Amino acid sequence: MAAGVAGLGLSWSSKLAQRPNSTPSPSSSSRSSGNCSIKMDVSVDEQKKTFTLKKSEQAFNIAKPEGFSKSRTVAGTGARCNLVHLTTAITTTSVFKLRLSKREFHGEWPLAVARSSRLPLLDQELMPGGVNSPVRAFKSVGGQPIIMDSVKGSKMWDIDGNEYIDYVGSWGPAIIGHADDEVLAALAETMKKGTSFGAPCLLENDLAEMVISAVPSIEMVRFVNSGTEACMGVIRLARAFTRREKIIKFEGCYHGHADPFLVKAGSGVATLGLPDSPGVPKGATYETLTSPFNDISTVKNLFDENKGEIAAVILEPVVGNSGFIAPKPGFLEDLQKITKENDALLIFDEVMTGFRLSYGGAQEYFGVTPDLTTLGKVIGGGLPVGAYGGRREIMEMVAPAGPMYQAGTLSGNPLAMAAGIHTLKRLKEPGSYEYLNKITSELVQGIVDAGKKAGHAFCGSYISGMFGFFFTEGPVYEFEDAKKSDTAKFAKFYRGMLEEGVYFAPSQFEAGFTSLAHTSEDIKRTIEAVEKVFRQV
Ligand SMILES: Cc1ncc(COP(=O)(O)O)c(C=O)c1O
């Protein structure tokens, strides 16, 4: 790696830190190294964490630094992102505004992200954080999110043409691989008839039949447009059916961004270290009780303290939103027993685990049938879909069959139904889940072995096509255990893996996903990269 270049970001960092006040003021920065030289006027506004770089007449020089064979536009560590931006800016406009958090200026940045970071800084002027869903931002791993251009099978390509083996799978839906030919063909065919009817279509029947015959708890289903909507609907239904208001959720479980669930939620809320979100009225979460995952005695106490008041217990049967956490043997069975004894409903949020752990989801995998279930991700085959369903007597409360109101302009949309149907058809073929299990076990075993061999406190586990690993000795039974992870080390590991062309979720607190399109060759390449990066972090 070009040693001289690494100083660039740090120099700017100290420049920012030294600014005595927040008034924008011109200053000058000139740095050089064997590979790169840069001279420009810098106007800093520390309070807003913005600064403006003005083109100077000096030549702006970028050479490919040693050790970055795959990078085509980069110029070293530390300030590589800025340099790429500047290259772009300098050819288009002479003044370019960068909005950067302090984090991005601190320390080493072995980031391949710079390869495709031309737009994110601009986007932050247009969209909060430059993203439309918080976990896509690289807040907890540093740097800018990579802008992707296309996906196929197990791979993604960024706007600079760099290839990544993808273990995010669009956060779950891409279980048969991205942009599957049959799904695309079905979409093209369906699209010929239009994109939305706002009236019933036969495809809704087809997907409903497939879901009902696959998922043990579901006798009737309602399609919606996202997992969030599914969870909102199911809680309203549980409250309507039981005529009670309190619910129990588990710390680190994420059930979408609706108000009642933003209490000790996982996913982006955990990744960004957010407390309960501002804007959620106290009244909305007042009836939400929480317990650590895998802690049946706390659940028992909550039932004892709130006799006759608890409508439902909702959980991710395998947690994917605080990293991957499996239930202890007997935990799901105990929950089923307690809810039954207390005339409350048991809800499995299978937005992530549905059709992923097995064709019938976690409930089939563990042999525990809840009263209600939510689905999403996989059943939309990459298009926006969610669903909730369960026992007929409960589902018949949903409007227009019953009085519990819930609706959606695009719900049951023919395109989403078609993508879901073709995705489930493929998953139903013999050997699908055996393959997912095999490929994921090779991956996780390889990663854990490499981590331990390199001397890191490390653990990891998986079920079928869902996995996770933590930079802690483990075991991880609940969110508090997951939080013991060395997240700084994870961030370094993450950035190193990007440099090697492997795309994991940009957070220690998210599960990973494999697909039917991942090959043994993908896994081999990933493990070789992991071994290399583990030696560096
Ligand atoms: C278990 C679970 N429930 C609900 C949701 C919310 O789904 P969506 O993002 O489609 O609204 C998610 C999203 O990741 C999830 O993992």
Same domain, 287 and 408: yes
- The mean per-residue pLDDT over the stretch 337-362 comes to 98
Residue 266 carries which side chain, given as an amino acid letter? G
Judge whether 121 lies within some domain: no
Residues sharing a CB contact under 8 Å with residue 468, sequence separation 6 or more, in sequence order: 320, 323, 324, 325, 460, 461, 462, 510, 511, 512
- Ligand 1 centroid to residue 173 C-alpha, Å: 11
Stated length of the chain:
537
- Ligand 1 centroid to residue 338 C-alpha, Å: 26
Pocket flag, ligand 1, residue 211 (CB < 6 Å)? no
Kindly tell me if the per-residue pLDDT of 109 is higher than 90.
no
Judge whether 501 lies within some domain: yes
End-to-end, the C-alpha distance of the chain in Å comes to: 15
Q: Which residue has the higher pLDDT, 482 or 44?
A: 482
- Of the listed ranges 100-109, 154-163, 392-401, 438-447, the least confidently predicted one is 100-109
- Of the listed ranges 90-104, 384-398, 401-415, 444-458, the least confidently predicted one is 90-104
Same domain, 197 and 331: yes
Q: What residue owns the CA closest to ligand 1's atom 9?
A: 227
The residue to mutate among 170, 254, 347, having the most atoms of ligand 1 within 8 angstroms of its beta carbon, is 254
pLDDT level of residue 180 (50, 70, 90 thresholds): very high
- Side-chain half-sphere CA neighbours of 55 within 13 A: 16
Same domain, 419 and 294: yes
pLDDT the model gives residue 49: 41
Same domain, 374 and 444: no
Pocket flag, ligand 1, residue 373 (CB < 6 Å)? no
Angle at 508 between CA 503 and CA 510, to 5 degrees: 75
Judge whether 447 lies within some domain: yes
Same domain, 395 and 258: yes
pLDDT the model gives residue 267: 65
For the CA atoms of the chain, what is the radius of gyration?
25
Q: Which residue has the higher pLDDT, 114 or 348?
A: 348
If one counts every other C-beta atom within 10 angstroms of the C-beta of residue 328, the result is: 15
- Ligand 1 centroid to residue 318 C-alpha, Å: 13
- The mean per-residue pLDDT over the stretch 333-339 comes to 98
Q: Which of 249, 264, 377, 492 is catalytic?
A: 377
Judge whether 1 lies within some domain: no
414-428 and 181-191 helices, crossing angle to 10°? 150
Judge whether 441 lies within some domain: yes
Q: What are phi and psi of 518, to 5 degrees?
A: -70, 135
- Write the DSSP symbol of residue 78: S
Kindly tell me if the per-residue pLDDT of 361 is higher than 60.
yes
Domain boundary at 364, 393, 428, which?
428
pLDDT the model gives residue 272: 55
pLDDT the model gives residue 269: 63
Index of the ligand 1 atom closest to the CA of residue 229:
11
Please give the Cα distance from 531 to 284 (Å, whole number): 47
Angle at 99 between CA 97 and CA 103, to 5 degrees: 145
Domain boundary at 408, 428, 448, which?
428
Please give the Cα distance from 375 to 523 (Å, whole number): 28
Residue-wise DSSP of 231-279 = HHHHHHHHHHHHT--EEEEETT----S-GGG-SS--HHHHHTT--SPTT
Query: Whole-number mean pLDDT of the chain?
Result: 80
Same domain, 232 and 353: yes
Q: Which residue has the higher pLDDT, 44 or 332?
A: 332
Same domain, 349 and 443: no
CATH of the domain at 465: 3.90.1150.10
Q: Which residue has the higher pLDDT, 303 or 38?
A: 303
- Ligand 1 centroid to residue 213 C-alpha, Å: 23
> Could you give the number of structural domains in the chain?
2
Same domain, 379 and 452: no
Same domain, 423 and 323: yes
- The mean per-residue pLDDT over the stretch 273-299 comes to 86
Q: Which of 254, 462, 477, 494 is catalytic?
A: 254
CATH of the domain at 243: 3.40.640.10
pLDDT the model gives residue 530: 97
DSSP element (H, E) containing 152: strand 148-152
pLDDT digits (tens, 9 = 90+) for 126-157: 788 888 898 888 888 887 788 888 999 999 99
Pocket flag, ligand 1, residue 348 (CB < 6 Å)? no
Q: Which of 349, 371, 481, 522 is catalytic?
A: 349
Pocket flag, ligand 1, residue 268 (CB < 6 Å)? no
pLDDT digits (tens, 9 = 90+) for 502-531: 999 999 999 999 999 999 999 999 999 999
Kindly tell me if the per-residue pLDDT of 36 is higher than 70.
no
Kindly tell me if the per-residue pLDDT of 159 is higher than 90.
no
Q: Which residue has the higher pLDDT, 142 or 25?
A: 142
- Ligand 1 centroid to residue 235 C-alpha, Å: 14
If one counts every other C-beta atom within 10 angstroms of the C-beta of residue 132, the result is: 10
pLDDT the model gives residue 193: 97
pLDDT the model gives residue 130: 80
The residue to mutate among 228, 271, 350, 509, having the most atoms of ligand 1 within 8 angstroms of its beta carbon, is 228
Domain boundary at 398, 428, 458, which?
428
169 is in which domain, residue-wise? 148-178+431-535
Same domain, 304 and 452: no
- Write the DSSP symbol of residue 514: -
- Ligand 1 centroid to residue 69 C-alpha, Å: 37
Index of the ligand 1 atom closest to the CA of residue 386:
10
pLDDT the model gives residue 482: 96
Kindly tell me if the per-residue pLDDT of 44 is higher than 70.
no
Kindly tell me if the per-residue pLDDT of 37 is higher than 60.
no
CA distances from 94 to 12, 56, 58, 150 (A): 20, 8, 12, 31
Residues sharing a CB contact under 8 Å with residue 252, sequence separation 6 or more, in sequence order: 264, 265, 266, 270, 293, 319, 321, 322, 325, 478, 479, 482, 509
- Ligand 1 centroid to residue 105 C-alpha, Å: 33
pLDDT the model gives residue 356: 98
Same domain, 452 and 518: yes
Pocket flag, ligand 1, residue 411 (CB < 6 Å)? no
Pocket flag, ligand 1, residue 226 (CB < 6 Å)? yes
Index of the ligand 1 atom closest to the CA of residue 377:
10
Pocket flag, ligand 1, residue 352 (CB < 6 Å)? yes
- Ligand 1 centroid to residue 255 C-alpha, Å: 6
Same domain, 170 and 192: no
Pocket flag, ligand 1, residue 256 (CB < 6 Å)? yes
- The mean per-residue pLDDT over the stretch 165-170 comes to 98
Judge whether 317 lies within some domain: yes
pLDDT level of residue 194 (50, 70, 90 thresholds): very high
pLDDT the model gives residue 258: 94
Judge whether 107 lies within some domain: no
pLDDT digits (tens, 9 = 90+) for 241-270: 999 999 999 999 999 999 999 988 766 666
Index of the ligand 1 atom closest to the CA of residue 227:
7
pLDDT digits (tens, 9 = 90+) for 197-226: 999 999 999 999 999 999 999 999 999 999
Told to judge if 377 belongs to the known catalytic residues of this protein, a careful annotator would answer yes
Index of the ligand 1 atom closest to the CA of residue 171:
14
Paired strand residues for 398: 404
Kindly tell me if the per-residue pLDDT of 460 is higher than 90.
yes
Helix, strand and coil content of the chain, in percent to the nearest 5, comes to 40, 20, 40
476 touches 141 (CB < 8 A)? no
Pocket flag, ligand 1, residue 249 (CB < 6 Å)? no
Judge whether 413 lies within some domain: yes
Write down the pTM of the prediction: 0.81
